[in-house]
């Protein structure tokens, strides 16, 4: 949605906002974190983020957004037809690399990790993804700073969004425990698909 309404905020502003959001969710669900998965996805993020930072410096973000959006939609279609899968080293590293790249070029690093954990219990999904995002957003921000793709005004906008973020986190406490794994999977697929569609629309609108 941010990409459609204010694409100039991407990726830096939303990457910065993602840091306190991820930290709060991870702290709340720290007992449910899959630490092994976090470690392998973090390892994958390193090359993904580095490649993303290099690509952002030389390729149009609009074009990149379109490619990323198409890839996310295809991944959602495949995932919607897949059976439950095991989460191991190889697919965790691959998902981490894809997430790091997408986070750096379009601030949409969530879909690869969400699809990886789509069959897991809801508390584990929330806490593990938040922990992965915390390290990932920090890496993405470092990559963007190193490549000169962060403006001061984007940081000011991020700071202005923090009160709304705090309100949303407070409100989520009242419904988080009622969300089951079965009900979370379609939400993951829908929101990942919407993120991909928004990236495609943004790229088409130019």
Q: Tokens 């989460």 label which residue?
A: 87
Listed range (36-50, 92-106, 143-157, 190-204) with the worst mean pLDDT: 190-204
With respect to residue 2, please indicate whether it lies within any of the assigned structural domains.
Answer: no
73 or 95, higher pLDDT: 95
Task: Please tell me the predicted confidence (pLDDT) of residue 145.
Answer: 83
Question: CB atoms < 10 A from the CB of 83, how many?
Answer: 5
Range of the domain at 90: 8-205
Distance CA(107)–CA(101), nearest Å, equals 9
With respect to residue 188, please indicate whether it lies within any of the assigned structural domains.
Answer: yes
With respect to residue 3, please indicate whether it lies within any of the assigned structural domains.
Answer: no
With respect to residue 141, please indicate whether it lies within any of the assigned structural domains.
Answer: yes
Quote the DSSP letter at residue 107.
Answer: S
Of 124, 131, 71, 122, which Cα lies nearest the Cα of 101? 71
With respect to residue 95, please indicate whether it lies within any of the assigned structural domains.
Answer: yes
Is residue 5's pLDDT more than 60?
no
Task: Give tens-digit pLDDT for 20-41.
Answer: 888 998 998 899 999 999 999 9
Q: What is the pTM of this model?
A: 0.71
Of 204, 157, 168, which Cα lies nearest the Cα of 9? 157
Residue 127 — φ and ψ, nearest 5°? -70, -40
Task: Please tell me the predicted confidence (pLDDT) of residue 59.
Answer: 75
With respect to residue 112, please indicate whether it lies within any of the assigned structural domains.
Answer: yes
Task: Please tell me the predicted confidence (pLDDT) of residue 1.
Answer: 52
Give the pLDDT mean for 188-206: 74
What total of structural domains would you count in the chain? 1
Give the pLDDT mean for 87-101: 90
DSSP class per residue in 69-136: HHHHHHHHHHHHTPPP----HHHHHHHHHHHHHHHHHHS--HHHHHHHTTTS-HHHHHHHHHHHHHHH
Is residue 190's pLDDT more than 70?
yes
With respect to residue 19, please indicate whether it lies within any of the assigned structural domains.
Answer: yes
Task: Please tell me the predicted confidence (pLDDT) of residue 178.
Answer: 67
From the number of C-beta atoms within 10 Å of its C-beta (0-12, 13-18, 19+), residue 79 rates as buried
With respect to residue 36, please indicate whether it lies within any of the assigned structural domains.
Answer: yes
Is residue 154's pLDDT more than 70?
yes
């Amino acid at each position: 949605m941010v990409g459609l309404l204010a694409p100039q905020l991407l990726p830096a502003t939303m990457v910065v906002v993602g840091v306190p959001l991820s930290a709060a969710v991870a702290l709340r669900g720290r007992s449910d974190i899959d630490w092994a998965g976090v470690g392998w996805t973090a390892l994958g993020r390193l090359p993904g983020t580095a490649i993303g930072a290099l690509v952002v410096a030389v390729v149009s973000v609009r074009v990149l957004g379109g490619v990323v959006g198409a890839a996310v939609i295809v991944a959602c279609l495949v995932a919607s037809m897949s059976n439950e899968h095991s989460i191991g080293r190889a697919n965790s590293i691959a998902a981490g690399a894809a997430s790091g790249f997408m986070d750096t070029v379009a601030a949409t690093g969530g879909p690869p990790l969400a699809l990886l954990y789509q069959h897991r219990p809801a508390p584990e999904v929330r806490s593990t993804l938040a922990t992965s995002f915390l390290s990932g957003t920090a890496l993405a921000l470092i990559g963007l700073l190193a490549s000169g793709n962060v403006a001061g005004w984007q940081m000011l906008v991020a700071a202005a969004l923090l009160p709304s973020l705090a309100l949303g986190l407070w409100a989520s406490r009242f419904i988080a425990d009622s969300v089951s794994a079965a009900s979370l999977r379609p939400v993951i697929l829908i929101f990942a698909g919407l993120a991909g569609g928004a990236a495609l629309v943004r790229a088409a609108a130019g």
